[in-house]
């Protein structure tokens, strides 16, 4: 029979049955698929154990009888002696209660020492015993696997595990897609979440099987084991899958939040989660403050790792001295990094502006004229020493040119930028966006950038565009010069 059928047959809970298995009192047959197959003999054995435990016989003595090391009559004799002694204790407790009641003293004037001496004089302990809901049910309540009703520890442990799985995915994906794009896309964020769940479903059963915990559970002092020690791979897989479905709502947005709320509420009400039935779930509650600090530190390391990757992604693929082709590759890298591909920015292998064609079946309508920049390079031993970009137009409206300057400067400055100069590179981007329509100069890693603007009859702002004033002569000319002094 299955464990569910055994529960119905004996009236015992699964946690009790697993506990007796762990204690070696019950050894069901294992099927080829790893499932337990309980016999009628197993059910009868459990009922005998249940009877003797309800009579408060110790587990060790029941084990002695089962193994033939003692007779049932012998252990029942010992239990009768213990019960006789307990009867005297109960009788004494009743006598003390009557005397206190007859004395009629209120709590504030109760002479506790007098009655404690009376109890001590009888040879009984002066420490009060824990309250018992039922004399006959107490042993069975104790014969269950420990369980951790610690919802917030479990929640923080789970969030840390998912954060680690997601961090690994983002670090790998960042090799191909900028993290800043990942952070700004709902669908990529959702994809990242489900990849994290996938990693969890693959990795967590292995961690529970071999170590009994995950990184988050280890940090928060949680440990998961089965009645026979560490979970088998099958048990660990079943637990993880059921937890993902019932506890995390299959990761479905909004519904998953509801499922997590339900699980936290169940823990607060000391109800066992369905995926933890028959599982030994322990918690080490020592050093809680230190564990909280470790949790915050771990999250800080994760955020720091992503921030570092984002900063490193600001550096282009080609570093040091550049040929025109390498300069163009850096330029095109930043087009993708800043998601400017919709504006058809592109340099060819000669470092000249070459707009991308529209995708098949589409046609792009530009609200302002895209001014085509012209690039001039001076080379030394095949490497760039001087760059000039010039844009001229008399159309209306026209783009402000901020992106052209930014991409042209970053393609060179990024190649010369050291890690310690990255924040300076970010400040350069802000300066370009602010001063794109005015003559301006700045120092950049490995050189300097200067641009001059000569315009007439236009009004506008960076990032918006320039509009010609009606009925007036208008022209626009912008020249960017990059002096290269780096490697």
Tens digits of residue pLDDT in 152-203: 888 899 999 998 888 887 777 776 666 555 555 666 677 778 888 998 999 9
- Please tell me whether residues 304 and 388 are part of one structural domain: no
**pLDDT in the model for residue 12:** 86
Report d(CA 297, CA 302) in Å as an integer.
9
Tens digits of residue pLDDT in 29-61: 888 777 788 999 999 998 988 888 888 888 889
**pLDDT in the model for residue 133:** 42
Tell me whether residue 318 is in a domain. Answer: no
Tell me whether residue 205 is in a domain. Answer: yes
Tell me whether residue 435 is in a domain. Answer: yes
pLDDT at 356 over 90: no
pLDDT at 24 over 60: yes
Query: Range of 255's domain?
Result: 151-313
Q: Note the maximum CA span of the chain.
A: 118
- Please tell me whether residues 335 and 478 are part of one structural domain: yes
**pLDDT in the model for residue 272:** 80
What are the CA-CA distances from residue 472 to residues 396, 399, 459, 467 (Å)?
Answer: 12, 19, 12, 11
Report d(CA 45, CA 121) in Å as an integer.
43
Last residue of a domain, one of 286, 313, 340: 313
- What 3-state DSSP class applies to 30? strand
pLDDT at 359 over 60: no
133: Cβ contacts below 8 Å, ≥ 6 apart: 141
- Report how many domains make up the chain: 3
- Please tell me whether residues 427 and 333 are part of one structural domain: yes
pLDDT at 128 over 90: no
Report d(CA 322, CA 131) in Å as an integer.
82
**pLDDT in the model for residue 131:** 40
Tell me whether residue 364 is in a domain. Answer: yes
**pLDDT in the model for residue 145:** 64
**CATH number, domain with residue 10:** 1.10.1660.10
- Please tell me whether residues 55 and 13 are part of one structural domain: yes
Burial 33-70 (b: 16+ CB within 10 A, else e): eeebebeeebbebbeebbebbeeebebebbeebbeeeb
- Please tell me whether residues 333 and 379 are part of one structural domain: yes
Report d(CA 138, CA 180) in Å as an integer.
59
Tell me whether residue 110 is in a domain. Answer: yes
Contact 53, 23 (CB under 8 A): no
Report d(CA 107, CA 85) in Å as an integer.
30
Residue 130: burial class (beta carbons within 10 Å; 0-12, 13-18, 19+): exposed
pLDDT at 26 over 70: yes
Question: Within a 10 A sphere around the Cβ of 142, how many other Cβ atoms?
Answer: 11
**pLDDT in the model for residue 217:** 93
**pLDDT in the model for residue 125:** 47
Last residue of a domain, one of 288, 313, 338: 313
Least confident of 325-329, 399-403, 436-440: 399-403
Tell me whether residue 437 is in a domain. Answer: yes
Report d(CA 4, CA 9) in Å as an integer.
9
Report d(CA 473, CA 483) in Å as an integer.
33
328: Cβ contacts below 8 Å, ≥ 6 apart: 347, 348, 349, 350, 351, 411
- What 3-state DSSP class applies to 185? coil
Last residue of a domain, one of 144, 171, 203: 144
**Half-sphere exposure of residue 186: CA atoms within 13 angstroms, side-chain side:** 1
- Please tell me whether residues 156 and 302 are part of one structural domain: yes
- Please tell me whether residues 309 and 370 are part of one structural domain: no
State the pTM of this model: 0.55
- Please tell me whether residues 237 and 368 are part of one structural domain: no
- Please tell me whether residues 183 and 299 are part of one structural domain: yes
Best mean pLDDT range from 125-129, 310-314, 327-331, 334-338: 327-331
Tens digits of residue pLDDT in 379-394: 999 999 999 999 888 7
Tens digits of residue pLDDT in 60-81: 899 898 889 999 899 889 888 8
- Please tell me whether residues 138 and 157 are part of one structural domain: no
Tell me whether residue 414 is in a domain. Answer: yes
Partners of 478 in beta bridges: 391, 453
- Please tell me whether residues 296 and 345 are part of one structural domain: no
- Please tell me whether residues 72 and 105 are part of one structural domain: yes
Tell me whether residue 319 is in a domain. Answer: no
- What 3-state DSSP class applies to 480? strand
DSSP single-letter state for residue 243: I
């Amino acid at each position: 029979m299955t464990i569910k059928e055994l529960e119905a047959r004996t009236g015992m809970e699964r946690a009790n049955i697993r506990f007796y298995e762990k204690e070696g009192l019950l050894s069901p047959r294992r099927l080829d698929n790893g499932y337990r197959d309980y016999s009628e003999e197993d059910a009868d054995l459990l009922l005998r154990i249940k009877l003797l435990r309800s009579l408060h016989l110790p587990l060790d003595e029941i084990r002695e009888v089962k193994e033939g090391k003692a007779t049932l009559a012998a252990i029942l004799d010992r239990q009768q002696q213990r019960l006789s002694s307990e009867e005297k204790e109960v009788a004494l407790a009743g006598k003390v209660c009557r005397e206190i009641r007859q004395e009629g003293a209120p709590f504030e004037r109760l002479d506790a020492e007098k009655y404690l001496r009376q109890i001590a004089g009888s040879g009984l302990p002066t420490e009060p015993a824990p309250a018992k809901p039922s004399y006959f049910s107490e042993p069975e309540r104790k014969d269950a696997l420990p369980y951790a009703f610690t919802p917030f520890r479990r929640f923080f442990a789970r969030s840390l595990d998912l954060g680690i799985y997601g961090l690994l995915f983002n670090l790998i994906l960042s090799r191909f897609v900028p993290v800043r794009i990942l952070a700004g896309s709902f669908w990529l964020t959702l994809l990242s979440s489900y990849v994290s769940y996938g990693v969890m479903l693959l990795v967590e059963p292995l961690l529970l099987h071999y170590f009994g915990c995950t990184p988050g559970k280890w940090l928060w002092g949680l440990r998961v084991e089965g009645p026979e020690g560490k979970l088998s791979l099958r048990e660990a897989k079943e637990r993880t899958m059921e937890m993902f479905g019932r506890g995390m709502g299959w990761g479905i947005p909004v519904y998953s939040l509801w499922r997590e709320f339900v699980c936290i509420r169940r823990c607060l009400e000391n109800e066992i989660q369905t995926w933890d039935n028959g599982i030994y779930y322990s918690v080490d509650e020592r050093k809680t403050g230190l564990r909280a600090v470790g949790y915050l530190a771990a999250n800080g390391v994760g955020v720091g790792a992503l921030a570092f990757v984002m900063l490193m992604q600001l550096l282009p693929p080609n570093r040091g001295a550049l040929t025109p082709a390498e300069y163009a590759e850096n330029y095109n890298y930043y087009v993708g990094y800043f998601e400017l591909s919709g504006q058809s920015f592109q340099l060819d292998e000669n470092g000249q502006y070459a707009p991308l064609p529209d995708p098949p079946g589409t046609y792009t309508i530009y609200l302002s004229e895209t001014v085509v920049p012209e690039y001039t390079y001076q080379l030394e031993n095949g490497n760039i020493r001087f760059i000039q970009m010039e844009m001229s137009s008399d159309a209306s409206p026209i783009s402000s040119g901020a992106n052209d300057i930014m991409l042209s400067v970053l393609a060179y400055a990024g190649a010369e930028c050291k890690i310690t100069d990255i924040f300076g590179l970010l400040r350069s981007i802000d300066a370009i966006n602010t001063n794109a329509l005015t003559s301006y100069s700045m120092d950049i890693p490995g050189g300097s950038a200067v641009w001059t603007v000569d315009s007439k009859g236009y009004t506008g702002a960076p990032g918006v565009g320039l509009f010609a004033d009606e009925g007036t002569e208008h022209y626009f000319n912008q020249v960017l010069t990059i002096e290269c002094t780096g490697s």
